[in-house]
Amino acid sequence: MSKLPKPPSPDHNNPDLLVWACFVAGGYERWLDVEELYLKAFDLAPARLAWRTREDLPDYKKCAKALQEVEDPKRSDHLGLFLKNGRYLRKLSDDGHEWCKTYGSMLMALYGGGLVPAPPTAVASQALSALKRSQAYQEFLNSGDVTCELWMLAEAIQCLPDSTRAVWLARLDHLNSALRATDDQAAVSFVNRARSRIEAEVRS
């Protein structure tokens, strides 16, 4: 047995997910077509691997990119974990099987149940960061309600106090999309309460 690659990342990522999906699908005992491998990974983490506009379908490009990252001889942290038989067949090597067993509890916690979040886009990450830095959000964490001045709420969601109702709601929709694949219940509650307030107070 050669020296195993470094442990899985504590953060969700697609290469670790793909190796674990191969293990879960029985890819040590038999060869898997890459499409079966991708479907198993999608089954474990649909929010990460879905089409942007169809959450029920796996995005082949995202899955193929993860496989390339696993097998990239220059940059991969997973070299030697997969065996390759032609273009489409993969299975776990002895090292890959050992890696999955060694770090199984960690991998199960990350990918074995519950929501596996989608990677946030840079724009979504910036919007969420701005929200959480805002005075309106800090007051909400203390009070449990969105009772701040309207201009403070506008600052939190990055619009103007005199923006149209459609703009306010579009900003909240954007935040909701960013939060859909997270487990941040406080931020979700803030956005929902902010929406109720905007719908009541901003008329046009």
- Over the stretch 61-115, which tens digit does the pLDDT of each residue have? 999 999 999 999 988 989 999 999 999 999 999 999 999 999 999 999 889 866 6
User: How does pLDDT run across 141-174, given as a tens digit for each residue?
Assistant: 999 999 999 999 999 998 888 888 888 988 888 7
Q: Which residue has the higher pLDDT, 120 or 134?
A: 134
Choose among 13, 12, 66, 11: nearest CA to 37.
66
Structural domain harbouring 134: 122-201
Task: Flag whether 4 is in a domain.
Answer: no
Q: Same structural domain for residues 102 and 144?
A: no
pTM of the prediction? Answer: 0.60
Q: Whose CA is closest to 170, among 185, 183, 182, 154? A: 154
Decide if 7 is inside a domain.
Answer: no
In the prediction, which pLDDT does 3 show?
Answer: 67
Point out which residues pair with 85 in neighbouring strands. 89
Tokens found for residue 88: 């489409």
My answer on whether 32 and 97 are in the same domain is yes
* Range with lowest mean pLDDT among 16-25, 107-116, 189-198: 107-116
Which of 78, 111, 144 terminates a domain? The answer is 111
Q: Is residue 53 part of a domain?
A: yes
Residue 41 clears pLDDT 70, i.e. is over it: yes
106 shares a domain with 45: yes
Q: Which of 85, 111, 137 is the last residue of a domain?
A: 111
Say what the pLDDT of residue 85 is: 97
| Residues 146 and 194 grouped into a single domain | yes
Query: In total, how many domains does the chain have?
Result: 2
CA nearest to 159, candidates 147, 149, 168? 168
The pLDDT of residue 54 is 81
Q: Are residues 18 and 97 in the same domain?
A: yes
Residue 104 and residue 168 in one domain:
no
Residue 184 vs residue 192, higher pLDDT = 192
Residues 150, 171, single domain; the answer is: yes
Per the DSSP assignment, residues forming a β-bridge with 58 are: 50
- Are 125 and 175 contacting, i.e. CB atoms less than 8 angstroms apart? no
Cα atoms found within 13 Å of the Cα of residue 139, Cβ hemisphere only: 13
